[in-house]
Chain A
Amino acid sequence: MNTNELLLKSIEYRKTILEIIHHGGAGHTAGSLSCVDILNVLYNKIMDITPENFDSVNRDHYIQSKGHSVEVLYTVLADQGFYPQDDLFKGLNQNHSKFIGHPTRKVPGIEHNTGALGHGLSVSVGLALAGKLNGHTYRVFTLLGDGELAEGSSWEASMSAAHYKLDNLIVIIDRNTLQITGRTEEVNGLEPLADKFTAFGYAVRQVDGNNVEALSNLLSQVPFEQGKPSLVLANTVKGKGVSYMEDQMVWHHKVPSDEQLVIALKELDTAKLELGDV
């Protein structure tokens, strides 16, 4: 997929996320929008995960530690062919549906049940370590929110990642700088974050996490260093792609009204037209 195709894909994903959240009446809107471009590049450009190879151990793996942004994951997995997109409109946030408000293995394409923060990195470390022990060539990608880094378990896992020299592990931080209560730096300061990850033994790179071309270029280079886990500090904007949601704390899990949805979709369609898509 070339850059223009990736850009168009991100817009389509954003539209679907907004539509399914609006339709289902609940969802983590802004956090899903901040990491759309990361999942887009991972699933369409970087990772070897398909419905056909999903039952095999020796393929790439993706664990979304920031499980609350499940709408983006459900959207991307539908696009990858794990299930029809229509299932999301019928199922998201519906009673008796398998499309729970956090990732669950009941949904095809999902590796691990997440939602309680600070869990995904340890599981990813174990999965990467199993790959090393078994002589497999797969890579493990995991996406963490920045707010969840206050969970100490993330740092326990980071120590193990470096200790076992897991260069088949790629940790991506969705650094949108906002959490439900406010700015991360006001809630429980994380900075200097890159320095902390470097000190914990990662090969750290920073990137504009809403720039699909920059993400593609960077993620094509993993591992950044042999014998070290890779860490991508992806600087993103929460609510990215919808003007009135961008960098606004209130949209953490707010659902757009009918009118707000129309405005958002119009903005995204305009962006699509500007890319030359008709």
Chain B
Amino acid sequence: MTIEPTMGKPNQQVFSDTLLEIAKQNENILVVTSDSRGSGKLVAFGQELPQQIVEVGIAEQNLIGISAGLSAGGKKVFAVSPACFVTIRSLEQVKNDVAYSDRDVCVVGISAGVSYGLLGSTHHAIHDYAALRCINNIDIIAPADNFETEQAVRALVHHPRPAYIRLGKRPMPNLHDPESTLFEIGKAIELRQGTDVTIIAIGEPTAHAVEAADILSRQGISCRVISMHTLRPFDKAALMDAARNSRAIITVEEHSVCGGLGELCASALLQEGIRIPFKIVGFPDEYTINGDQPTLFKHYGISGEGLVATACELLETCKSQM
């Protein structure tokens, strides 16, 4: 079923609301923060469940190490910190103490991507997919909207594995019909059907992919949209189905074009011997211009309009190759 987007809440608000609701019934759930409960929308959580929140101060390495130890002591841990810091400042702790030591810690990267747009590149997290993709034994999830976020949190509570979830701070349009959509970690969701071009999206740009598909549809171009909310485990079958049943593929992510969804798809396609007109949309390998998230999205083509232009260019390539 295709739904028209309505505006929802910030995904990180949905994360904290959902986790609070679950944690009230499950005292084993613990949130660990690095002076980040405000930006993580966890003030209410801290007030209602003060015994289930641990503060470590501005110390991301310690945040992850302590979280691993709490997990070893039997706790179900959500370690919440800005994505820009928790995936790089504490990368070795994520690698050794969580992933390699196989601890049940969910690293929660808040204000991810370019949520902190105007604060500049120190605060941009457009490297996290790449950093974590090459670390074995940690699942990577980036929900597109409130529905995916809520479902991901519910799934992660019963997911005793190292995991990373990436959340933004702007209100997100609702893209799914909750009644008819099944969310499963590692299983992509088709948001629009189509055969001319497929846009594979992850995280907050997914709404723009839907917008592009709807514009293209009015121009007589049939565009499939896949919400690839999980990078690991990767739903290769969804990618292959798109490659077999559409003429071109675009990937879009709020991430550097290096090492994220696009390169993952390109690699998978090449290794399956599939050649198809293909374009990775994301941030180029440079420090971004100054701007808030919408400005940066628009500037770098991570927008409905930008994706329409990319789709039309790719389809022209298809024609010239015929």
Contact = CB atoms under 8 A, between A and B. Distances in A.
A128 B72 CA distance: 10
B62 A123 contact: no
A99 B71 CA distance: 24
Interface residues of A, number: 31
A50 interface: no
Given A119-B93, A129-B54, A160 B72 contact: no
A214 B131 CA distance: 47
Interface string A145-158: 00000001100110
Contact of A126 (B71, B100, B102): B71
A130 B65 contact: no
A96 to B, nearest CB: 18
A57 interface: yes
Nearest to B57: A159
B28 to A, nearest CB: 9
Interface in A96-117: 105, 111-116
A153 B61 contact: yes
B95 to A, nearest CB: 8
A171 to B, nearest CB: 13
A115 to B, nearest CB: 7
B65 A125 contact: yes
Given A111-B72, A123-B97, A156-B59, A116 B66 contact: no
Contact of B69 (A127, A134, A136): A127
B74 A126 contact: no
Contacts of B68: 112, 122-123, 126
Interface in B46-71: 51, 54, 56-57, 59, 61-62, 64-71
A116 B64 CA distance: 14
A121 B65 CA distance: 8
Interface string A138-182: 000000000000001100110110000000000000000000000
B51 A156 contact: no
Greatest chain B CB density within 10 A among A61, A112, A114, A152 is at A112
B74 A123 contact: no
Contacts of A125: 62, 65-66, 69
A18 to B, nearest CB: 29
Interface residues on B, range: 20 to 34
B166 to A, nearest CB: 23
A133 interface: yes
A111 B70 CA distance: 13
Nearest to B67: A126
B101 interface: yes
B62 A156 contact: yes
A129 B96 CA distance: 20
A127 B73 contact: yes
Given A105-B102, A119-B93, A122-B93, A133 B62 contact: no
A134 B28 CA distance: 9
A122 B73 contact: no
A127 B101 CA distance: 14
A105 B57 CA distance: 29
B96 A160 contact: no
A230 interface: no
A116 B72 CA distance: 18
Nearest to A142: B69
12 contacts: A119-B92, A119-B93, A123-B72, A125-B62, A126-B72, A127-B72, A127-B73, A130-B73, A133-B70, A153-B62, A157-B62, A159-B57
Interface of B: 30, 51, 54, 56-57, 59, 61-62, 64-75, 92-93, 96-97, 100-102
> 5 tightest CB-CB pairs across the interface, nearest first?
A126-B69, A130-B73, A122-B65, A156-B62, A126-B66
Given A113-B96, A122-B93, A129-B69, 5 more contacts: A105-B102, A119-B97, A126-B68, A152-B61, A153-B93
Interface of A: 57, 61, 105, 111-116, 118-119, 121-131, 133-134, 136, 152-153, 156-157, 159-160
